[in-house]
């Protein structure tokens, strides 16, 4: 199925926050819908206190690209390389909202990506 193509994530392997980890900083990545239908995605991270995600849940039409910004907020704990961001997606019926399609979805997502932080 064309859903196998799913989303194209760039960069596809790792998000790097460089600089002073005592200051808030942001990094942006792109999500492109390569399938032949609308997809709903959601993005989760392993540490909500440390990472704030813009548009963490949304619908993306086929052929479209979205920029997602992740902001790192300093916390007392050492941020090691064990943290990651998960990007999950499922098909989105016409006229639905991202939150409604996820509420009605049962079972595992159609696809999943992991970005190391």
DSSP codes of every residue in 41-59: EEEEES-TTTEEETTSEEE
Confidence at residue 17, expressed as pLDDT on a 0 to 100 scale:
86
pLDDT digits (tens, 9 = 90+) for 21-59: 789 999 999 999 999 999 999 999 988 889 999 989 999
Q: CB within 8 A of 82, min separation 6: which ones?
A: 46
pLDDT band, residue 2 (cuts 50/70/90): very low
Q: How far, in Å, CA of 67 to CA of 52, rounded?
A: 14
Place of tokens 């196998």: 4
Q: How far, in Å, CA of 100 to CA of 95, rounded?
A: 10
Strand partners, 60: 39
User: What are the distances in angstroms from CA 57 to CA 39, 42, 77, 92?
Assistant: 11, 4, 27, 12
Q: How far, in Å, CA of 6 to CA of 39, rounded?
A: 8
Q: pTM of the full predicted structure? A: 0.87
Confidence at residue 81, expressed as pLDDT on a 0 to 100 scale:
64
Confidence at residue 43, expressed as pLDDT on a 0 to 100 scale:
95
């Amino acid at each position: 199925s064309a859903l196998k193509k799913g989303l194209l994530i760039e960069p596809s392997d790792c998000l790097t926050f460089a600089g002073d980890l005592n200051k808030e900083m942001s990094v942006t990545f792109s999500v492109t819908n390569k399938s032949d239908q609308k997809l709903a995605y959601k993005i989760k991270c392993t540490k909500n206190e440390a990472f704030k995600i813009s548009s963490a849940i949304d619908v993306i039409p086929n052929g479209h690209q979205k920029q997602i910004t992740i902001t790192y907020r300093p916390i007392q704990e050492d941020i090691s390389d064990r943290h990651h961001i998960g990007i999950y997606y499922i098909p989105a019926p016409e006229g639905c909202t991202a939150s409604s399609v996820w509420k009605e979805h049962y079972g595992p997502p159609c696809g999943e990506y992991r970005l190391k932080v």
